[in-house]
Chains A and B, each alone.
Chain A
Amino acid sequence: MKKFKFPMRYVPISATILVFFIVYLIGIISFENFGSSKVFLDLFVDNAYLGIAAIGTALVILTGGIDLSVGSIIAFTSILIAKMIASGSNALVAIALALVIGILFGMLQGWLIHCFSLPPFLVTLAGMFFIRGCGFIVSEESIGIKNDPVFNFIQNDLTIKLGKGMNLRFIVIVYIVVLVAAIFFSQRTRSGRSIYAIGDNELAATLMGIPVGRTKIMTYTIAGFCSALAGVVYAIYLKAGNPLNCVGLEMDAIAAVVIGGTLLTGGVGYVFGSLFGVLVLGLIQTLIVFDGRINSWWTRIIVGLLVLAFIFMQNLITKISKSKSKSQ
C-alpha cells in the first residue's frame, strides 16, 4: 500500500472525472446515439455559458468568498445587448458595453467586500437583487435579436468545421479559450497563486506580504467579467435577451464548482475541475432528456445528492490529511 502514492489533492478532481465517465458510460449503454460526437459537442454548446460563469465562481470560491450575482448579471447583459441592438446600435458596441459594465460591477462588489470587510455573501446578494432589477429597468419583456449582421457573422462564419457536419461553434471556442486562460492564470501567475494563499489563510497571506486587497478585488472583477461574458454567450446562444433568465443559475455554478472538487472554504481545488462539474450537470440533463420518462425535477435531486457526495468526500480527505500531518 505504501508504494502507491497518489497525491491526496488530486483525489477529488479524479473522482469528478470518474463520475463523468461513469455517467457517460451509463448513457452510451442505455441509449443508442448517446455516444455520438454530436451529443458530446452539444454538451459544450448548451453549457458554454454555465461553464464560463463557473470559472468566475471557481476563482471567487478559491479566495474563500462567494459570488451570488452570476445569474442576474447574465440576465442583465443579455437583455442589455438585445435592447441596444433592437434600438439600432452596433452589436459590437453593445457587447463591449456589457463587458465593461460586468467588470465595473464586479470591481464595485470586490471593493465593498474588501474595503469595508462586509461579508461576500451579503454584498453579492444585494448585487444580485440590484442587477436583476436593472435588467427589468432595461426591459420587462423578452427581446429577440433578429437579422443582426454581427450575430449572423458569429453564427455562420465563426465556426471551425470538423467535418462530417460537426461544427465547433464560436461560443464553445470562447469557453475553451477562457478556460485555458483561467487555468494558466490560477496555476502559473503570481496573482493566481495569491488567490490560493488568501483562500487558505487570509491572515497568513497578509503577513507574507501578499497584496490581499488587490487580489481579492481583482478576483471579483474577473468574476464580474466572466458573468458578463457568459451573458454575451447566452445572448448569442439564444439570440434573445430576457431579464427573467437564469434565476438561480449561481447555485448551478456553485454546484458545478463543488462537484468539480473545489472546497467551499477556499484555497483547495482547480479551475479545471469546474469543466467536469459543468459537464456532469449537462450529462445528467441530457440523460433525462434522452430518457423522456423521468421527470425533470429528478435533475435537481440528483445534483443535490452529487453535491452531498462530493462534500462528504472532501470532508473525509481533509480529515485524513489533518490526521496525517498530526502523526508526522
Chain B
Amino acid sequence: MNKTSNKFRHLVWPLVSLALLLLFNAIFTDNFFKIEIKKQDSAQAPSVPGNPPASGTSWITPESYENVSDPTEAAAKAAAEEVEAAKQTVKESAGQQAVPEKKDDKGVSIFGYYLYGTPIDILNQGSKVMVLAIGMTLVIATGGIDISVGAVMAIAGAIAALLISMLDAGTCIGAGMGPSVYWIIPVLAALVLATIAGFWNGMLVAGFGIQPMVATLVLMVAGRGVAQLITDGQIITFDNPGLVFLCNGHALFLPFSVWIVVAMYVIFGLLTRKTAFGLFIESVGNNERASRYAGIEARRIKWLTYVICGFCAGMAGLLAASNIKCADSNNAGLNLELDAILATVIGGTSMAGGRFFLSGSLVGAILIQTLTTTMYMKNVSPAIVAVPKAMVVIIVCLLQSPVFRAKVLSIFASKAAKGGVQ
C-alpha cells in the first residue's frame, strides 16, 4: 500500500489542481463535459488520405452531423450548440495565433465516428506541449535543459511545408508517388532534421561540456533564422490531406494527435522504465561523476536525451504546422519551450535532475491546456491568459518546494506550540 502511494505521490498536486480546475468548469461552464459522438458526412466519410478536400471550402455545416449521442434532442438546440462550439474554436485559434479554420474542416476520419467536445479539444490542443514535455522531461532528468525546442519546432514545420509544396509542384524526387503517399517524405525529413538539431545540442552539451542552458541558447537564437532561411521568409501553406491529418484527423474516436502522444508515451515509457536507460538517466542527473565511475557512459546518455528531445520537438513542430496548415517560422512554437518546461516541473520532475516522471509531465501539459481553454471559455482575452497561468505555475512550484513546505509547517507547528503553552 505504502509503496503504491509513494509511486504516485508526485502526481498528487498536479492531479488535485487539475481536479479543482475541472470542478470549477463543471459548475461554472455549461456543457463543459458534454462529449458527443459525431459521424462524418456520408459524402466525405470514406475520404481517408488520398481524397483531398477542396481547400478552404470543406467546412462541414452543423446540419451535416448526425447527433448520435442524443437523437431525441431538438435539432435547433443542437445547431445552437454547434455555433457555440464553433465560436470557441475560433477563440481558441485566436489564442494560438492561428488561422481560424481549425478543428472540423477535415474530411478525414478512419471509421467515420469520433468524439467531440471540450475535453477532447483540450487533449488535441495540448498534444504539442505533451509531446514536447516527454523529451524535455528526459533532458531535465539529466540535470540539463533544452530551451531550443520552440526554434526546432519552427525548423521542422518549415522543412515539412517546403518539401510538401515542392512535391505538390512536382519539383522534388518522389512526386510521382501521388499525394496520398508522398506526404510521408516531409514528415520523415522534418523528424530527421529535428533529430539532427537535437544531436547538435547534445554535441555541445555532452561533447564539449558547455552548460545546457547556454548551449541550447545558440540554437534558440539561430534556429528561427534557419527556419526562415528554409522558407525564404514566407509563410508556406499546404493542404495535403495526409499532412493535415496529423493534427486535424481522427482515428478510433479520438483526434489522431492524441494517438501520437499515446504512442510516444508508450515508446519512451517502455524505453525508460523497462530498460536500464531510465535508471541511467536518473543516475547521471543525480551525480554525473559518480555514475561515470560506476561504468555508465554519462556523456552518451546525456547526448541521447538531447537527441530524443530534438525528435520530440520535430514531432511537435509537425503537429503545430499540421494544425494550422502552414509553417510560420516566426510564430510556430513561440514560447512553447516554456510551456514544456512548466509542464515537466508541474509534473514533479526536479529541475536539478535525478528523477523524472513522464506521466506527471503529461498531466502537467493537460493542466496547462485545461487552464488555457477554461480562460477562453470564460471570455478572457488570449493575451491575458498568461497572468493566471503564471500564478498557477508559482503556486505549484511553491507547493513542491521543500523550503516552502518546511516554512508553512513551522508556522503551524509554532501556532500549535503556542496553543499548547496557553
Number of chain B residues close to chain A: CB under 8 A: 47
Tell me, yes or no, whether B177 is within 8 Å of chain A by CB. no
Q: A126-B393, A133-B385, A315-B209 are in contact. Are A300 and B145 (CB under 8 A)?
A: no
Q: A129-B386, A303-B222 are in contact. Are A264 and B213 (CB under 8 A)?
A: yes
Tell me, yes or no, whether B397 is within 8 Å of chain A by CB. yes
Highest count of chain A CB atoms <10 Å: which of B208, B329, B387? B387
Task: State which of B145, B210, B387, B404 has its C-beta within 8 Å of the C-beta of A311.
Answer: B210
A136→B383 contact, CB < 8 A: yes
Closest residue of chain B to A247 (Cβ to Cβ) is B334
Highest count of chain B CB atoms <10 Å: which of A258, A265, A311? A311
Q: Which residues of A in the span 119-162 have a Cβ within 8 Å of any Cβ on B? A: 119, 121-123, 125-130, 132-134, 136-137, 140
Q: A122-B345, A137-B384, A308-B218 are in contact. Are A300 and B225 (CB under 8 A)?
A: yes
Q: How many A-B residue pairs have CB under 8 A?
A: 126
Tell me, yes or no, whether A241 is within 8 Å of chain B by CB. no
Tell me, yes or no, whether A189 is within 8 Å of chain B by CB. no
A286–B220 Cα distance when bound, in Å, is 22
Q: Which B residues are in CB contact (< 8 Å) with A307?
A: 214, 217-218, 221
Tell me, yes or no, whether A197 is within 8 Å of chain B by CB. no
Tell me, yes or no, whether A45 is within 8 Å of chain B by CB. no
Q: Is the interface of A mostly helix, strand, loop or mixed?
A: helix
- Closest chain-B Cβ to A139's Cβ sits at a distance in Å of 10
B221→A118 contact, CB < 8 A: no
Q: Which of B43-51, B83-91, B130-138, B226-234 contacts A (4 or more CB under 8 A)?
A: B226-234
A126–B339 Cα distance when bound, in Å, is 10
Number of chain A residues close to chain B: CB under 8 A: 44
Q: A129-B393, A264-B214 are in contact. Are A299 and B387 (CB under 8 A)?
A: no
B224→A300 contact, CB < 8 A: yes
A264→B384 contact, CB < 8 A: no
Q: Which of A2-10, A18-26, A36-44, A109-117 contacts B (4 or more CB under 8 A)?
A: A109-117
Q: Which A residues are in CB contact (< 8 Å) with B220?
A: 251
- Closest chain-B Cβ to A308's Cβ sits at a distance in Å of 5
Tell me, yes or no, whether A12 is within 8 Å of chain B by CB. no
Q: Which A residues are in CB contact (< 8 Å) with B342?
A: 122, 125
A301→B218 contact, CB < 8 A: no
Q: Which B residues are in CB contact (< 8 Å) with A258?
A: 214, 217
Q: 3 closest Cβ contacts across the A-B interface?
A: A304-B222, A300-B225, A133-B387
